[in-house]
Structure 1
Amino acid sequence: MTLHEDVQSTPRLPLDQDGGPVFSAPWEARVFAMTLKAHEAGMFKWNEWAETLGAELAKDGDGSGETLDYYDHWLNAFEKLLSAKNVAAANQLSELKEAWDEAARATPHGEPIILDRS
């Protein structure tokens, strides 16, 4: 799998030997795909994304202390950009994240997580 040059040049993106992204959990692939779809839908330009992600990654400084994993930074940057572009308010994202966390805790291992929308 090869990615567009812009995506391959994303700051610190973990790539395999074929140039494809590397994920350690399904949610990482999902947030990656959502970001690409949002970009393709015209919600933001790729350089805006790279700058937002770069600023988020820079919070770790030289990496010598406690750090978030790469895709945690990716998710934080995606949420910031969605808020900045008025696609979703920060409180909406926070509430949705809490709802997913609650649903995940209430779901037996191996079962699909169902988000109750009532």
Structure 2
Amino acid sequence: MTSAAVAQATSALEDLPQDDDGPVFREPWEAQAFAMALSLHERGLFTWNEWAAALADEIKIAQAGGDPDTGTTYYRHWLATLEKLVAAKGVATLETQHRYRDAWDHAADRTPHGKPIELKPEDFRPHA
């Protein structure tokens, strides 16, 4: 992530949690989701205006479903938006994304703490 890309994202996305130093994240996965969106934007998958509109739609849907909008779920909406845009742009279907998410969960479950997680073919098989 370049500082110019981060600056562009923070100026284009008004609701992005940030302080004087830039975006703030409560957990590492939030920073990773932010970095993925930045990377896909830099590759031309979507404009920041397109992203902001899709994120606003996702937040409205969540609020209509009872999300209390306390700020703690912002990056969950960010991730859901990322998944939907990746599918809409034909990069990977939601089914494929969920398949990899589930495989990653299985791989993480069998990996000792502190060790790198490695996806293996068996992680993609249905588990009971």
Instruction: Return the TM-score normalized by structure 1.
Output: 0.83
The CA distance in 2 between the partners of 1:38 and 1:21, in whole Å, is 17
| Count of paired positions | 117
What is the CA RMSD across the aligned residues, in angstroms?
2.5
List aligned pairs for 1:1-118, cutoff 5 A. 3-18=6-21, 20-58=22-60, 59-61=62-64, 63-64=67-68, 69-117=73-121
Change (3 A) 1:22 1:93: same
Which of structure 1's runs of 4+ aligned residues deviate more than 6 A? Answer: 65-68
How far 1:11 sits from its partner (Å)?
A: 4.7
- Secondary structure of the corresponding residue to residue 23 of structure 1: coil
Structure 1 residue ranges without an equivalent (≥5): none
Which one has the bigger helix percentage? 2
Change (3 A) 1:6 1:91: same
Residue identity over aligned pairs, in percent, reads 44
How far 1:63 sits from its partner (Å)?
A: 4.8
Return 87-96 or 66-75, whichever deviates more.
66-75
Change (3 A) 1:8 1:106: farther
Deviation per CA, 1:34-88, whole angstroms, max 9, x where unpaired? Answer: 1111111111111111111111112225853899721111110000001111111
Change (3 A) 1:101 1:50: same
